[in-house]
Amino acid sequence: MKQFQTWAEIDLDAFHSNLDLYRKISGKDVMIVVKANAYGHGDAYMARCANSWGYDKFAVSSLEEGIHLRQNHVTGMVLVLGAILPTLEHVAVKYDLSLTIPSMEFVKELPKDLRGLHVHIKVDTGMNRIGFHSAEEIKEAVRILFARGAIVEGIFSHYATADVRDDAFMKTQYERFVRTVKAVDYPFRYIHMSNSDGVFHNPENFTNMIRPGIGIYGYADHPDLKPVLSLYSSLTLVKKIHAGETVGYGATYTAEKDEWIGTMSVGYADGWDRRNAHRCVSINGVRVPHVGRICMDQSMVRLPEYIEPHTQVELFGQTIPLTEVSRDLETIPHEILCRISERIPRFYLSENKTVHISEERFHDELL
């Protein structure tokens, strides 16, 4: 990774292990959620790896994400979880994408000819985002969709509280979903509800597919899950400053004595949140604090001694877990991972060897 000053490393063996863990524990088909660029990991390559391991069902948030997978040779089912414009139904047919049906109003706005369109009905069991509340409405929607030639292949819902362990509300949602699906009385091929933590906290035999997201990247309530992505930078410049000198925008940090300051080529445009200014990074296994404000493209740390430029810096990984970063920033791992900029190269590793680099944005001379 020496040719880059900031980069991410993605452990494909950990990703494979997490997928297999979900399949083993659930005993069901696994729909892999790769929305938001696979939570920052790189959707197309991660999905193609999953294809090579025998996984063939994926979930995205939009038509654009689904098209991107198809253009990058991802095979199998691709379900668009979000609501799209009904007038774009033909795009889903063209790229063989399955659509979510979120409401009766959406059904009424669809074209009369839906031949070739695969759909999944969304049931709102308590999230109150999108989805049907009534089994009777779903029956009517299925009737209309079927009459227009659509292939009604699935029905699903989504847990609101699986990750915060509100098991009572999770059970309530599950029971609503079961009642609704039974009342619709239609032979859906795919019935799915469990997300990353729902698989572990509400094992059940009514559904036949699970839909893990953040868990397959290493963050859910199971001890055998392995973090997949680590983020690194390096020291681009090391200088000594004197007592009374300031660092960064706003001169918010003043040295109390002579100090060594290291500059890193990472900032908020890379997804390194400005709130990290009060946190530490790790150099040679030692935690060193940020000083001054984090800039758009650079940030500074106070070193305990002179350290050679180009020395690797861990932002999060083995020494500083992402869960610690997210706790300190009062957010969740999902947000931090999703915000890692596309200008950060991803190095994909298997058995500690680089097998792929996200080269799309980088010149051959850099690789």
* Whole-Å CA distances, 172 to 154, 166, 177: 21, 10, 9
Dist CA 32 CA 26 (whole Å): 14
DSSP 123: B
Dist CA 170 CA 261 (whole Å): 50
| CB-based contact 94:111 (threshold 8 Å) | no
| CB-based contact 84:106 (threshold 8 Å) | no
Nearest CA among 102, 43, 83 for reference residue 337 = 43
Q: Determine the distance from the C-alpha atom of residue 295 to the mean position of all C-alpha atoms in its chain, rounded to a whole number.
A: 25
User: 353-357 and 346-350: which strand pairing?
Assistant: antiparallel
User: Where on the phi/psi map is residue 218: left (φ > 0), alpha (ψ -120 to 50), or beta?
Assistant: left
Question: Which string of b and e fits 208-247 if b means at least 16 CB within 10 Å?
Answer: ebbbbbbbbbbbbebeebebbbbbbbbbeebeebeeeeeb
Among this protein's residues, is 249 annotated catalytic? yes
Residues 53-56: contacts with CB under 8 Å, at least 24 apart: 53/16, 53/19, 55/19, 55/30
| CB-based contact 328:309 (threshold 8 Å) | no
Q: Which of 108, 182, 239, 249 is catalytic?
A: 249
Q: Which of 22, 28, 35, 348 is catalytic?
A: 35
Dist CA 89 CA 91 (whole Å): 5
Dist CA 91 CA 343 (whole Å): 29
Dist CA 333 CA 320 (whole Å): 13
Q: Which residues are catalytic?
A: 35, 249
